[in-house]
Structure 1
Amino acid sequence: MKAEGDRNLDTAREQDRQWRGASRRPAEVIAPARCAHLRVDPRGYPIIAVIPQHPGREDYGSLSEQRKLVLATFDLCAVCATPLRDELRWQVTFDDELQHMGEQPRFSEAPVHEVCALYAAQVCPFVSSPYARLGDPMRKGQRRPDTLVIAGFDRTAEVVGHDSELQVGEGILMFEMAGLGRTHRLVGADDARAAYEAALGDDAPMVLDDAERRLIDILCAPTPEGEDAGGVMAGAAWLIGAAFCPQIRRVQAMKRFAQARDDFYFQVAANALLQPDLMQDWESIDDPCIAAASSWLRTRQRLPAVLEQWQRDGARRVRDVNGRRPRIATTAGAPPRDDAAIRRRKAAEAALRKGRRKKR
């Protein structure tokens, strides 16, 4: 019989064999149609929506909290920056993490489209390579877990500011997901490629209206002054409702807005709730981010659920000079029980348990 150390070595070798060649150069992978507008760096890597991206200094190893706020406000994919709409919202996990996170797990990353998540499993070194190392202070240098589990949820239930569990003293945005619908359990390069090819076959360019296109064009390019547009667009997000995100002031990256003189961003956001007609005036101001955000907000038939909830929270906190609250449309009653969604969640959870038993 083999000793325990020999068996562990054999297991490691098998996992290495399964994932060998998983990470490919971007030029070797057909990108989703919805990613066609993304800029690329000199190596050919797409500059995805959620990373800090000062021109020439794109940081693929970090997440921009300001950009996460923009994505949450406008309900955009963290990879391609196009709307999530009624598609499942996908998060990346490893091994059996998801089984220990509760029915509505929280993630530090903004959700993405299915095809975008699987594209990342092809070209993103951290997601695609079992040799990738964790970079946060608490786990720096540790190898990432071997099995990649990509989970799709029906909706984003809540986005809140929260103390980071991995960066002591740092506040970050957390995305609470609800309604687990499907999972991809990827144990090797063949699994990852097969899943991506299937998703790519169903991919199509995202049809955008003028207001959406304007937002995305701004977010995916530097400002004329050479800044990361994410930080500027985050200010516009504050003004249309993100100022009321629960615990937003705990997020250090938001100090620029939270500590503005006379609490400017909060006060303007409150005035916008009290006087919605202000939005139409904002569409013609010189600031392109505020103008684009205002146009987008005014032309929505229905707001994303997260932004709608933030505005409702804000309406409970602000008053006009006569002590009256803003008038916000009455929320529809609780949605009916979705038996199909419940069946999908149970099937996805069963698949995870089955995969875990096979691993043992």
Structure 2
Amino acid sequence: MPDTSVPAPPLKGIRVIELGQLIAGPFCAQLLGDFGAEIIKIEAPGMPDPARGWGAAKKNGIGLYWPIIGRNKTSLTLNLREAEGQDILKQLAETADVLVENFRPGTLERWGIGPDVLHKHNPRLIITRVSGYGQTGPESHKAGYASVGEAKGGLRYLIGEPDRLPSRAGVSLGDTMTGTFAALGTMMALFSREKTGKGQVVDAAIYETVMAFIEGLIPEYAIAGHTRERSGPILPKVAPSGVYPCSDGMVIIGANQDGPFKRLAEMCGADWATDERYATHDARGDNQTELDEKIAAWTRQRPMADVLAACEEHGVPCGPVNRAMDMLEDAHIKAREAIIRMVHPVMGEIPMQGVFPKLSETPGGAVRPAPALGEHSERILSDLGKSAADIEALRERGII
């Protein structure tokens, strides 16, 4: 008979201790939890992760990012500034595969629970450390937020209009990018452990992650003396490729290669493909502004739906500039189940982005809503051999 059982997600059986807060460390743990890892999120008693209430929009006092970054996690409160709390963490580390933290470098060492100590308790433990500047170097001691890392890593200088101060994306790119790299590093360390039997430290710095995304920026300057500058909505010398207004919104069109550009010209009823000002990639780059103006004059007279339909008919890469309200109604997003819905015990049903990437045989999933503070403390401590009386005494002493 065919096997009709549901396959286990790929990280089922991997236990992760999360000591992070806000985004970078918790996003790393979220990615691991999305694919089946057990995530034990540790927060100080009475001092929850600020992400629980973070953001401009809230429901019942809970920030609307928390149900996403907190999904698939359990919650244990633990005072790591006290010896009893540190001892419990050491016990927990003996049962774990991964520990994720994003404190300022040196914090774990000051509490007596740095990698040297934890590896004595569990040599197989992967310790993933996320920080602004890394665990070594003359600036490693500094506090590092995503905005600072984006600037140090060269990204922030490039964002915005050329005649204004650098801008920023509307989300914390440095944090989520670094959380992604930290998860990747964690997976590579787990893979290495399969061969060596040994754990190790994964050192993920925000500014270095950002540097990984700046393409040829460094050799362009070092070898060719070229400094990229802010260019607003365009990529200099790459045309047409940008945002174009419609009568009821805007679209992105990317037709800088010769084939798509010829089809774009045909779609617009123009002779641009044979005009020497636009016939080649270099010529289009040299005359970028006037070409964009001509395309905008065509799109501005038409609603988005007509422009999108025309582009699809002619094989021109094009798409809408979506807002949240648009994504919720997008037929392709619905068909791919890229937005899922979870039921939170306090907030009710919440739509959110799904689990990515999609694995054909062992997909991940969002199966557990974000926990209340300390929701699973008793169960986790009981599993460590603590009695009900022990747990109550820990609570009275402020350890949990």
TM range, smaller chain: under 0.3
Query: How does the TM-score come out when normalised to structure 2?
Result: 0.24
Query: How does the TM-score come out when normalised to structure 1?
Result: 0.26
Structure number with greater Rg is 2
More helix as a share of residues: 1
